Structure formats: C-alpha cells, structure tokens
A and B are shown apart, each in its own frame.
Chain A
Amino acid sequence: MSIFNDLKETVTRNIGRVMDAGAQYSDARWYEDDSSEMLVLLDGNLEGNDTTVESGLGVRVLYGGAWGFAATSQTANVDTCFDRAMANAISASMLVKVKLDMGKMEGHTGSYTSPYKIDPIDVSLSDKVDFLKGVDDSLTEDWILRRMISVQIQRMIIHFWSSEDTYTQKKLINTFAHMTVMALDKDKQMQRRSKSLYCETEGTRGWEMLTNPALWSGHADRVKSELKEVLGAPELEYGKRSVILLPGQGHLQVHETIGHPLELDRILGYELSYAGGSFVNLDSFGKLRYGSDKLNASAYGSIKNSPGSFGFDAEGTPERDYLLIDKGILVNCLTSRAMISEANQRAGREIFTESGGASRSTAFYRAPIDRMTNVNILPGDDGTLEDIISTTEDGIVVDNPTSWSIGSNREHFHFGCEIAWEVKNGKITRVLRNPSYQGHTVDFYNNLSAVGDESTWIVEQVENCGKGEPNQVMELGHGVPVLKFDNVVSGERR
C-alpha cells in the first residue's frame, strides 16, 4: 500500500471517528512535500544557501462551535493528532459566546497545479548560482557599496480531506527574487534601489519565470542608474501634493490599506490582540464609500500566474473571482466559511452568500485563517504613466517601499519610498531623495484621481505577508496599475 493510500485510509477513518464523537466538522491537510530553497548573494558572496524540507499533517476539529487544531510531523501519529485536536476543541468549547459554524458545502474533488515549465527546486544549484552570479555581475560598479540578490523558491504538494467528503490535491510552485543596490549619498546616508520579480498574468511560475530578463534581471541597468540619480538628489520637502504610485509602491499600498482591512476575521475582531482590527464593520458593505468612482478592486481576479492563485483554499473551497470595491463602494471582502457564517449571524442579514476561498495556512502545523489571495486594483481609463504625469500640476512619482507603518485598524498609514520624481506642470523635473507620504485610508482613496490603463498594470508578488498567532507568512499577489492621489501629505516635517 502506498503512503498516500495508507494515510488516506487513516485520515478518513479518524475524520469519521471524531464526527461520530460529536464533532460538527473536521478536516485534515497532509503536506506530502513542502520544500523551499533560499539563496542570498551579498556583495557577491553566497551567504545564504539554505534548503528546508517539511512534511506532516494538520488536523482541525469543530466541536461545540469551537476550533481545535493539532499537527504532527509523524504520519504514524495520526490517531493521536486527531485525539489532540478533538480535545483542544472540547476545551475551547467551554468558553464560546458565538458558536462557529461552517455552513454547508457539497463534497467535491479537485486538483490544481501552478503553471510552470521547469520545477525550480529541481534545477541544479550550480545553474542557480551561475545565473545569480551573472545578475550580480550586472549590478557591480565601483561606486555601489552593497549588492544584495535573494531568491526564494517553493514547492508544495498538499492533500485535503474533509468530513463533507471533499478531497483536493494541489501542487504549488512559487518563485520570488529581489535585487537591491545601495550606496552612500552626499550626506553619508545609505540609499537603495531595488527590483522584485513580477508576474505575467498568463505566464508560468517556474525557473523560466526567474530567468526571463523582462521580468527581473533585465532591469539591472535601470536600477543602478536610478540609484545614482538619488545619491545627489535633494530631499523631498514636506507639503501637500499629488502622489503617483508606480506598481512597485502601489501594490504595498493596496496590500496594507485594502487587503488587510478587508480580511473578514479582522473585521470580526479575531486579530485584535496581534495584527489589529479594521475600520470596516459589517454595516459598511454596500454603503461605505471607500474611494472615488475610479476605485475598483477585486479578489483573485482570475490571474493564472500569481502566488495568490492556488485553485482551492485550505477548506477545499475553489478560488473565486469577485469585486471587493465597485466604483468606490465597498461590496465584499476576503472570506472563509466559518467567518461568513458568523458575520451573517451577527448582522442578522445575509451580507455574504458564499466563501471567498480565502482560508489559507502557511504550513501543515498552522491552522487556516482568512488571508489575501490576489487583491487587485482594476485598470482604469486614464491612460499611460506619461498621460497621468501630463495632467499633474504639482506632484511626485514614487516607487518601491523602504518602510511601511500602518494604524492598528488600517485607518492611517506612513510609507517611505526608495525614489521620487518631482512633477511640475505636467513634466518630470528632477529626482528627489528620502520620499515619504502619509494619509488616512478613506480620505486617501477618495482622493484617487487617476487610474492607469492596462499598459501600466502588472502583478507584483508578495512572499512575506505576516498575520495570525502562531504567526504565519503567506504568499500572494497584487495586480495594480499606476495610481494618482491628490492632496497627500508627503515628506517629513522638520
């Protein structure tokens, strides 16, 4: 008997056992393979050459309206793992005010594989190092003080079984990469410019994605020349002006101030003791003017090639493509089954009709929580970047974050960026150093005055979104165009 068949029999038997003992629902995720590799070149030295292999089972049991979770890396301990999850659920059920419920879902089967041509885990280390050394060479200049290149690749094979007779299997491939160059400016402050590997929406996620020069390595000369401009540039002065976000910055703005506040578990208060809450509440849906008419945001977005595209979530729910914000009005959020059941119950009306397929976990030993999939701003009709600049009287164009700090309910924020280009009377006039901007989320999006067309829209990858206790790091994507906001406080008050 194969390991898979053996485990399938044991898991389904145990699911039946806990259901017979009174559980409302149970599921199990077996990570047959969770392999990752991290390579870090620092000033040409391969200082990070790390691999990790994990495999194990995570079990959830819903009993008396409360979750119990347990995990084991030993497939011989499956019975014990279910016992522990059940015991945890029983003890949790002793302190439950609102009983959780999964709602109903028909059992189904399905499979998903990330689009890829060459599995990056299978590429030899020598080939990887040769490629990265080549990229490093292209970044090397006498005046550059630090060069950093990092590549992270992942391969996960995950099986899912539930008490509703659902079975899904997925193979996920992810490839992330960053290049950064740094040098001291005229005031001896370290400045940096960077470029991250981004996605073609119809492309693939394997080694071939990393080695496509258009998506990453081909940007080396531009990154260097822009850093050189920053070194001698004046600092951005404090004041109110228009701020134009390139996707390298816009995706993080969307991540922090649309993605996180629209996670339903945050809205319901389940993240208060760690990540925080949300300024959005259950009355906001269909009413809150989140932004101007130009703001249209979606979840998933049917993007084929993104770390936020995974076929089925950690509850077996198929990924869904739907609007979060429609012409500025909040209409939906990122949801999982138990959370929509509770939200509808609390609101006394059906706000959410079906799960958004956003229940995700970072590893077999972490319980699924509501996460972003792909959270996107849809392209607009304000033309190219050049078109948007041409209609800007006084502003800056900014790219790539150096820091981000967000209010606990995502109601306000502060971002530092790598570079700014000053815009005066429709033209770029000069580069500025140490740019930053801050704002209050709803005011900020209501000042969204221009949204770039499809030519400006790309899918940026995020591999390090943190949330939950125990903490979980998640991979996802953001499709964003160029975005222009007016009357933004930018620069630092002296």
Chain B
Amino acid sequence: MMNDKAKNIITEARDMAQSRGIMASIHYHRENSHLMRIGNNSVSLNTSEELTRIDIEVIQGRRKGTHTHLGEIGSADELFSIILKVSEKAGKSAEMDFEPVLTAIETNVRTETQYDVALDNLNPVVKEQVFSSIFKNTGEDYNYSGSWSSGSTETFSVTTANNNSAWHRLTDQQFMCVLKHPEKLWELASWQTGWKAGDVNAEITINEFNSLLPVYENNDGFKVESGNYKVILGPQALAELVGLTVWTGCAGRTWEMKMGWTADKNIGDKVLHSSVTVLDDPTNEQVFSDPLSDSGMLTKTQTMIDRGKFAGLLYDRNTASKYGKKATPNSGCLAMQPGDGPADFLEAVKDIDRVLYIPAIHYMNMPNMSKGIFTGSSRFSAVLVEKGKIVSPIFSSRITDQFEDIFGNVHAISSETISVNTSNTYDRRAPRAVSVPTWMLVDDVKITDCAKSF
C-alpha cells in the first residue's frame, strides 16, 4: 500500500509547482500484479511485478508535455526536478489551436469499495489448486491452457488547479481456461472475473466444460457456408462489440472528426434497435468503478444509446476544449442494459430451426469505421443449435457485418447480465469490465467465410 511518505512527497511537489505558477498534474500509479499462465497442463509462467509509476503533465498556455517515470521517487525535491524538466519540455513544445485543460479534482476522494486484501495477497498455490481441480474433474487427457491475473491497483492524483486529491485502490482478477482436444483440436473456454478472492471458482468452469463436452466429443465440426444466419452472441462477443460500437460511434473525438459510423447522425436519431440501451455507468456493480473522469469530475451515469436512439457523446477534457463542448463525467464503465428474454439462450431459441451460438469473436478489427463494418472469427465453444438443442461444434467462421445491423436486427436479449473483464496488460494494470446481457439473438448476421478446422 502507498505509504504516507509517498503521499507527502507528491503533495509537497505539487505545492512547490503551485508556488512557481506551474500548471501541473501528478498521478501516482502502483500495481501489485501476479499472473499464472498455464500451457500444456502445466504452469508455464508464474510472475510477480511490483511497479510504481509517476505520470506528470504540465500545461503552458496552448502547449503541453507529459512524462512517465517508472520507479520510486525518494524526495519532493527529486519529483519537483522532474516536474521542472516536463515544464521545460512543455515550453519547447508547439502551440496548439486550442487550450489544453488541466485536470481539476472536483473534491477530495478516497475510495476502496472494490478492494479485497485477500485477493491482493493471493497465494499462487491457490491458483495452482484451482487449475488442478479443473483438470482432474473435466478429464486429464485434454490439453489445458489458461491464465489467471490478479492484483491491486492504487492511484493517487493531485494537480495545481486546487488542493484536492484523489486516492483510489481496487483489486481485480481475470481468469481464463481453455480446454483443447489433443487430436480433434476443438477448443472450449471459460472466463471468470471479479474483485474478491472467492469470485473465481473451479466449479463454474468444470460445469461449463462438462455441459459442452458430450456434444463436442460425439459430433464432427459443422462447416458454415457463407450467408446470413440467426446468431446468438455470447458475453465476450457482446462486450467487445459494445466497446467498439461506443468507441467508434459515441466518443466525442471520433464524432467531431467524422471518423465513425455516427458521423452523419445527430443526437436523437434512431440508430439501433429499440431494445438496445448502452450506458457509461460507474454505479454498476459488474464493472470496475473509477471515481474520477480525466477532467477530475466525479463520474456519473450517462446514456449513449437510449432504446435505440443516439443519446449522448462522451467528451474528454481536451476534446471538449478543442471543439467548444463541455467535458462529460466519463468513467469508461460500459453497461448494455438487459432485455426480457429467458436466462437460458437455449430456451429462447427452442422454436427456431437453426441458430449459431458464438460466445466470443477472435481478433476483431474494422475494415471501414465510417460504415461501422467489423470482422472477426468464431473460436471457443461455438456451436450449432437446432430447436433449442446444441447439435454440433462449428468450424472457425468469419463474421463481417456492421454495427447498425448487428444491433439493429435484434431478435431478443437476455434478462440477465454478466461482467466481462476487458482489461489488457500491455502497459500498466488498468482494470476494465463491461456489463452485458448474457446473450443477444440477432437475425441476418453475415457469415463470410469458414475454415475446415476449428
């Protein structure tokens, strides 16, 4: 945990900058990360990283500079000397045609409502035991791989705009296990997430695998010919689609730059099916909360898509300044609202002859952002469903379609929601999750290619 010394160093350095009239923000980020990776039924990597970063931003009129220092800072003088260097950098920068905005923390914040000391200090042996239990109770002849990342993130932010500070600490974990048949090569996957030590449970994964194994073991793969199909999208697919749809359609910067699929749309226009509502909702318990927006505002629930209508755009502080808009209290906590369908997707499709269930879309990308065209392929646990019964696994099939069609041709949506962890660890630990319905049934989804393998 961050100690008082570190807080004092940062606060003192802020005061020194304030007294010199420097417009600066100082953001402390500390992570305690642990990751166990599984490959070929073994622990292939067991890592621990304890890292501290200090991010500094200095604004001088229409110029700015930013710097990240990875490592501990020993004194306020040392930190202030870095601030001075960033200030010098900002001074040598080029003037912009708008004024960058310094974060102003709205009020003092201290939150750790999603912090669990047991998860922060989780013994790797617990992870090893959970994976071992899954192997033992699902079948040790299969090939297993997976990963389990857990840890804590602690941030402390101050700026020279005022004397407020924000401290936030949370724990998170992301669990994934893949079961692959060594000869037939099909793959099943199970995902779990949460912020408490007990949130990941071997039984959940064992049950998910055991419910699908008979179908996979007893049926060959189904090759999906190119054409339009009814498709049930599962949670991972939905979470990624919701994220991309919002990023390319409801981000203020994208819209102002006329880059996305809503470029020619206005607030109030009907853009998606009336059953689709998407919020930025920091109060949702299925996401990892973030108390402050990038501009320092307390985050609040905002609606981007309201029953199919384009309802709002999300503006960060600099985009708002550049385009003369007000910054919005963004949390980045996306939540798609549930529908009124049954919890079990098989129940929802019991009268439909043929449906594809695609729980996750692998390697999604966008060939045409203006038209909202995306492409990606099915992978784990994708199956053919007939009259509400799973009849066979499907080979790797490519979907190439548009957001407006996927979220426009909605047939039904589950009444239950689930949290999908969307964190990535390319840089620092930054927990993110999306709350989505457990399934969404869509008509006329374009399948454009299919491999002869899984």
- Residue numbers of A with Cβ under 8 A of B are 41, 43-56, 65-74, 84-85, 88-89, 91-98, 124-126, 129, 133, 145-146, 182, 184, 188-190, 265, 268-274, 276-277, 279, 365, 367, 402-409, 411-412, 414, 416, 434, 436, 438, 440, 466, 469-473, 489, 492-493
5 residue pairs, one from A and one from B, having the closest CB atoms: A416-B367, A92-B43, A270-B39, A189-B370, A470-B425
A91 contacts B449, C-beta separation under 8 Å: no
Instruction: Verify if B113 is at the interface (C-beta below 8 Å from A).
Output: no
If A273-B147, A438-B448 touch, whether A268 touches B40 (CB-CB below 8 Å) is: yes
Given contacts A70-B47, A277-B180, A411-B396, 16 further A-B contacts (CB under 8 A): A56-B71, A68-B46, A88-B124, A91-B43, A95-B43, A126-B92, A129-B92, A184-B258, A188-B264, A365-B51, A403-B375, A408-B187, A414-B400, A416-B367, A438-B398, A470-B149
The complex places the Cα of A53 from the Cα of B400 at a distance, in Å, of: 41
If A269-B145, A493-B226 touch, whether A96 touches B258 (CB-CB below 8 Å) is: no
CB-CB nearest in chain A for B429: A470
Q: Which residues of chain B come closer than 8 Å to A471, judged between CB atoms? A: 424-426
Whole-angstrom distance from the CB of A315 to the nearest CB of chain B? 15
Whole-angstrom distance from the CB of B96 to the nearest CB of chain A? 4
Instruction: Verify if B52 is at the interface (C-beta below 8 Å from A).
Output: yes
The complex places the Cα of A70 from the Cα of B45 at a distance, in Å, of: 10
A190 contacts B47, C-beta separation under 8 Å: no
A49 contacts B369, C-beta separation under 8 Å: no
Kindly identify which residue among A43, A73, A272 contacts B187, using a CB–CB cutoff of 8 Å.
A272
CB-CB nearest in chain A for B58: A49
Q: Which residues of chain A come closer than 8 Å to B98, judged between CB atoms? A: 45
- Would you list 19 pairs from A and B whose C-beta atoms are within 8 A, ordered by A residue? A51-B66, A53-B69, A53-B70, A56-B70, A56-B71, A69-B46, A69-B48, A70-B47, A85-B48, A89-B46, A91-B124, A124-B92, A269-B145, A276-B379, A409-B454, A414-B449, A434-B368, A466-B426, A470-B33
Instruction: Verify if B263 is at the interface (C-beta below 8 Å from A).
Output: yes
A438 contacts B264, C-beta separation under 8 Å: no
A49 contacts B377, C-beta separation under 8 Å: no
Q: Which residues of chain A come closer than 8 Å to B363, judged between CB atoms? A: 276, 405-408
Instruction: Verify if B220 is at the interface (C-beta below 8 Å from A).
Output: no
Instruction: Verify if B251 is at the interface (C-beta below 8 Å from A).
Output: no
Whole-angstrom distance from the CB of B360 to the nearest CB of chain A? 10
A69 contacts B449, C-beta separation under 8 Å: no
Q: Which residues of chain A come closer than 8 Å to B128, judged between CB atoms? A: 91-92, 94-95
The complex places the Cα of A246 from the Cα of B50 at a distance, in Å, of: 44
Kindly identify which residue among B71, B94, B371, B446 contacts A74, using a CB–CB cutoff of 8 Å.
B71
Whole-angstrom distance from the CB of B36 to the nearest CB of chain A? 7
Q: Which residues of chain B come closer than 8 Å to A408, judged between CB atoms? A: 187, 362-363, 377, 379, 396
B48 contacts A402, C-beta separation under 8 Å: no
Q: Which residues of chain A come closer than 8 Å to B125, judged between CB atoms? A: 91, 94
CB-CB nearest in chain A for B177: A273
Kindly identify which residue among A53, A269, A470 contacts B39, using a CB–CB cutoff of 8 Å.
A269
The complex places the Cα of A208 from the Cα of B186 at a distance, in Å, of: 50
Instruction: Verify if B108 is at the interface (C-beta below 8 Å from A).
Output: no
B145 contacts A273, C-beta separation under 8 Å: yes
The complex places the Cα of A489 from the Cα of B426 at a distance, in Å, of: 34
- Binary contact readout B68-79 vs A (1 if CB under 8 angstroms, 0 otherwise): 111110000000
Number of A-B contacts (CB under 8 A): 262
Interface of B: prevailing SS = strand
Q: Which residues of chain A come closer than 8 Å to B371, judged between CB atoms? A: 189
Whole-angstrom distance from the CB of A327 to the nearest CB of chain B? 26
* Interface hub of A88, A182, A493 (most chain B Cβ within 10 A): A88
B400 contacts A469, C-beta separation under 8 Å: no
A434 contacts B47, C-beta separation under 8 Å: no
The complex places the Cα of A409 from the Cα of B186 at a distance, in Å, of: 11
Kindly identify which residue among B40, B259, B364 contacts A270, using a CB–CB cutoff of 8 Å.
B40
Kindly identify which residue among B49, B370, B425 contacts A70, using a CB–CB cutoff of 8 Å.
B49
We find that the number of chain B residues with CB closer than 8 angstroms to chain A is 89
B43 contacts A268, C-beta separation under 8 Å: no
Instruction: Verify if B284 is at the interface (C-beta below 8 Å from A).
Output: no
A46 contacts B96, C-beta separation under 8 Å: yes
- Binary contact readout B56-74 vs A (1 if CB under 8 angstroms, 0 otherwise): 0000000111111111100
A92 contacts B124, C-beta separation under 8 Å: yes
Whole-angstrom distance from the CB of B318 to the nearest CB of chain A? 7
B377 contacts A279, C-beta separation under 8 Å: no
The complex places the Cα of A447 from the Cα of B276 at a distance, in Å, of: 44
Q: Which residues of chain B come closer than 8 Å to A469, judged between CB atoms? A: 35, 37, 45, 147, 149, 425
Whole-angstrom distance from the CB of A348 to the nearest CB of chain B? 16
Instruction: Verify if B42 is at the interface (C-beta below 8 Å from A).
Output: yes
Whole-angstrom distance from the CB of B305 to the nearest CB of chain A? 21
A269 contacts B143, C-beta separation under 8 Å: yes
Instruction: Verify if B451 is at the interface (C-beta below 8 Å from A).
Output: yes
B70 contacts A189, C-beta separation under 8 Å: no
B90 contacts A49, C-beta separation under 8 Å: yes
* Interface hub of B47, B50, B63, B379 (most chain A Cβ within 10 A): B47
Interface residues of B in 405-454 (CB under 8 A from A): 424-426, 446, 448-449, 451, 453-454
- Binary contact readout B282-299 vs A (1 if CB under 8 angstroms, 0 otherwise): 000000000000000000
B379 contacts A50, C-beta separation under 8 Å: no
The complex places the Cα of A360 from the Cα of B6 at a distance, in Å, of: 34
Kindly identify which residue among B70, B131, B379 contacts A54, using a CB–CB cutoff of 8 Å.
B70
Q: Which residues of chain A come closer than 8 Å to B64, judged between CB atoms? A: 49
Q: Which residues of chain A come closer than 8 Å to B163, judged between CB atoms? A: none
Kindly identify which residue among B40, B51, B63 contacts A71, using a CB–CB cutoff of 8 Å.
B51
Kindly identify which residue among A45, A84, A403 contacts B97, using a CB–CB cutoff of 8 Å.
A45
Q: Which residues of chain B come closer than 8 Å to A56, judged between CB atoms? A: 51, 70-71
The complex places the Cα of A466 from the Cα of B363 at a distance, in Å, of: 12
Whole-angstrom distance from the CB of B412 to the nearest CB of chain A? 27
Q: Which residues of chain A come closer than 8 Å to B24, judged between CB atoms? A: none
A72 contacts B365, C-beta separation under 8 Å: no
Whole-angstrom distance from the CB of A435 to the nearest CB of chain B? 9
The complex places the Cα of A93 from the Cα of B50 at a distance, in Å, of: 22
The complex places the Cα of A322 from the Cα of B143 at a distance, in Å, of: 31
B42 contacts A96, C-beta separation under 8 Å: yes
If A97-B42, A273-B178 touch, whether A55 touches B71 (CB-CB below 8 Å) is: yes
The complex places the Cα of A116 from the Cα of B189 at a distance, in Å, of: 47
A272 contacts B264, C-beta separation under 8 Å: no
Instruction: Verify if B89 is at the interface (C-beta below 8 Å from A).
Output: yes
B258 contacts A145, C-beta separation under 8 Å: yes
Q: Which residues of chain B come closer than 8 Å to A125, judged between CB atoms? A: 89, 92-93
A97 contacts B93, C-beta separation under 8 Å: no
A273 contacts B146, C-beta separation under 8 Å: yes
Kindly identify which residue among B52, B424, B449 contacts A412, using a CB–CB cutoff of 8 Å.
B449
Kindly identify which residue among A47, A52, A472 contacts B70, using a CB–CB cutoff of 8 Å.
A52
B180 contacts A269, C-beta separation under 8 Å: yes
The complex places the Cα of A74 from the Cα of B30 at a distance, in Å, of: 13
CB-CB nearest in chain A for B264: A188
Q: Which residues of chain A come closer than 8 Å to B400, judged between CB atoms? A: 414, 492
The complex places the Cα of A272 from the Cα of B90 at a distance, in Å, of: 44
B369 contacts A190, C-beta separation under 8 Å: yes
Kindly identify which residue among B45, B132, B369, B453 contacts A279, using a CB–CB cutoff of 8 Å.
B453
If A188-B264, A438-B449 touch, whether A470 touches B71 (CB-CB below 8 Å) is: no
Q: Which residues of chain A come closer than 8 Å to B71, judged between CB atoms? A: 54-56, 73-74
The complex places the Cα of A411 from the Cα of B47 at a distance, in Å, of: 31
